[in-house]
């Protein structure tokens, strides 16, 4: 028996990328030539606090999106169960993925609609399950914990310039790993996507810093 994933691989990659971009806006704005230990401390507190806040916000957005999707599914199910003939067939075909609907005959769609009408009455309102709350926790942890690999060099390396170089190297490796994994998921060149992700991350950080983020 296999367990259902709380988050899909693409969702995990997106959350890690988001957390990385957020922390890099703090480390990238640190002046190596002028920064003292107080400045580094303030940067670390700001980076951790920012990703803590955005981890919570992103987790709430995940729950809201899940609840909205479940509500839409319930509305569609009730509409299909309450319709008949061409209208019911049209609603059901629209609810199916396009490639699936394209290969199904009218009889198969009608048979599916009949089976749906035989199901017990659905819940009156959408609810969040244990898996949804675990998904929200996973979103929060991915965003928040992605701060630490990039921030750790500033804690243990006394020289700011060396810490910055190590931090940037770790960030590039994490961005490349995220792009590499995403490339494999979508069936494209992992190496190319890894390089593109590093370039994209650098560009997003530069834009965010330039805009005062």
pLDDT digits (tens, 9 = 90+) for 24-79: 877 777 665 566 767 777 888 888 888 898 889 989 988 998 899 888 888 888 88
Distance CA 56, CA 64 (A): 12
| pLDDT tier at 83, thresholds 50, 70, 90 | confident
| pLDDT tier at 2, thresholds 50, 70, 90 | very low
Q: Distances from the Cα of 122 to the Cαs of 71, 83, 113, 125, 133, in angstroms?
A: 11, 16, 15, 8, 21
Mapped onto helix, strand or coil, the DSSP state of residue 121 is: coil
Q: Distances from the Cα of 158 to the Cαs of 11, 35, 148, 152, 161, in angstroms?
A: 36, 12, 17, 11, 9
Q: For the chain, what are the domain ranges? A: 9-75+130-210
Mapped onto helix, strand or coil, the DSSP state of residue 91 is: helix
Which has the closest alpha carbon to 18: 53, 49, 51? 51
> pLDDT tens for residues 138-193?
889 888 888 888 888 888 888 878 888 888 888 889 889 988 988 888 888 899 98
Q: How far is Cα of residue 76 from the mean position of the Cα atoms in its chain? A: 26
Cβ-Cβ contacts under 8 Å for 24 (sequence gap 6 or more): 150, 171, 201, 205
Residue 3: pLDDT above 60? no
Which has the closest alpha carbon to 100: 112, 88, 87? 112
Place of tokens 């394209």: 102
pLDDT for position 186: 84
Phi, psi for 124 (deg, rounded to 5): -65, -30
- Cβ(101)–Cβ(93) under 8 Å? yes
Cα Rg of the chain (Å, integer): 23
Furthest C-alpha separation in the chain: 74
Residue 10: pLDDT above 80? no
In which region does residue 44 sit, left (phi positive, over 0), alpha (psi from -120 to 50) or beta (all else)? alpha
pTM here is 0.73
Place of tokens 């792009």: 179
């Amino acid at each position: 028996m296999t367990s259902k994933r709380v988050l899909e691989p693409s969702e995990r990659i997106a959350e890690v990328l988001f957390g990385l971009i957020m922390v890099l806006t703090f480390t990238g704005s640190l002046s190596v030539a002028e920064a003292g230990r107080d400045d580094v401390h303030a940067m670390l507190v700001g980076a951790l606090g920012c990703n803590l806040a955005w981890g919570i916000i992103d987790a709430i957005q995940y729950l809201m999106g899940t609840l909205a999707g479940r509500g839409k599914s319930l509305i569609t199910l009730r509409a299909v169960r309450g319709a008949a003939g061409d209208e019911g067939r049209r609603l059901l075909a629209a609810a199916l993925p396009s490639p699936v609907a394209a290969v199904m005959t009218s009889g198969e769609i009608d048979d599916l609609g009949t089976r749906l009408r035989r199901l017990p009455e659905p819940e009156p309102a959408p609810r969040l399950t244990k898996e949804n709350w675990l998904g929200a926790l996973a979103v929060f942890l991915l965003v928040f914990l992605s701060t630490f690999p990039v921030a750790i060099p500033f804690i243990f390396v006394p020289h700011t310039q060396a810490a910055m170089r190590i931090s940037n190297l770790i960030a590039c490796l994490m961005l490349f790993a995220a792009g590499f994994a995403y490339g494999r998921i979508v069936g494209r060149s992992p190496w190319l996507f890894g390089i593109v992700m590093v370039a994209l991350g650098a560009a997003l950080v530069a834009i965010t810093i330039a805009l005062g983020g």
